[in-house]
Amino acid sequence: MKATALMLGLALLGASCSNTRYRDAQDEETINADFGSTDKQRFVDGVSADFLRSPGLTYYKKPDEKGDTRVIAVMGGIVNETSEHINTEIMTRSLRDKLLGPVRFVGGDLGQAEITKQIRFQQDSGRVDPAKAAAFGKQLGAEVVLYGSLSSIEKGKGRSLETLGSKKRDVYMQFVMNCIDVNTGEILWTEEVELRKQQVTSLFGSS
């Protein structure tokens, strides 16, 4: 009896311990069917690669006075239409990072707020040479806006004899990005990336 109690105590102690370690941020994450880092990476990689090879944008921009043919874009929002609480800002930041260089970006809402603060500081603080102070009305205007949506369809199957006591959860996700002309409203490009995940929880699983 003492040996059994000791074994049980050790088992409970082991179950209560945790183990935390660093992993490669690019490693596939499959803890469950919820939205995760791998989903974000696949969505961003898919739409950015398609955008950069889109024929609809190769002839869109005429060279400016410096001969630059890169389109000037502003990153709009990504609407979360799923049932999960997903921070889509991390997707817009990653997508902008992928495209920056081949695409010229101007600041969005947060960037514009910081620009406004800085220009007002330079003009009103008395600490900046007026001849060198930045001024309103000199920014580049975005020619296109990038925006998108994230949606999902979920299905589940409860525990039963047919499933040997396990339960299943199937999640389909769709990520769509669009590029629209600011002046004309014409949609210049759109791309859809899909993925499906299935989570199977055994008879003794708690989720």
Q: Say which CATH number the domain at 81 has.
A: 3.40.50
Token pair 């220009």 in the structure block, residue: 119
In a domain, 10, yes or no: no
Which of 32-36, 48-52, 100-104, 161-165 is the least confident region?
161-165
In a domain, 159, yes or no: yes
**pLDDT: is 57 or 191 the higher one?**
191
Residue from 44, 150, 59, 143 nearest 99 by CA: 44
In a domain, 186, yes or no: yes
Domain count for the chain, please give it. 1
In a domain, 25, yes or no: no
The alpha carbons of the chain give a radius of gyration, in whole angstroms, of 25
Enter the pTM of the model: 0.78
55 confidence band (pLDDT: 50, 70, 90): confident
Within 10 A of 185 (CB to CB), how many other CB atoms are there?
7
The residue range of the domain holding 176 is 32-106+141-201
In a domain, 179, yes or no: yes
What is the Cα 12 distance to its own chain's centre?
A: 39
Q: How far apart are CA 95 and CA 81, in angstroms?
A: 19
Within 10 A of 130 (CB to CB), how many other CB atoms are there?
9
- The pLDDT score that the predictor gives to residue 56 is 67
- The pLDDT score that the predictor gives to residue 89 is 93
Q: In what order do the strands lie in the sheet with 167-181?
A: 104-105, 72-80, 144-157, 167-181, 187-201
In a domain, 114, yes or no: no
Bridge partners for 173 per DSSP:
152, 195
In a domain, 151, yes or no: yes
- The pLDDT score that the predictor gives to residue 146 is 97
In a domain, 60, yes or no: yes
pLDDT in tens, 134-149: 999 999 999 999 999 9
Neighbouring residues of 182: CB distance < 8 A, sequence distance ≥ 6:
141, 142, 143, 144, 145
Q: How far apart are CA 170 and CA 102, in angstroms?
A: 37
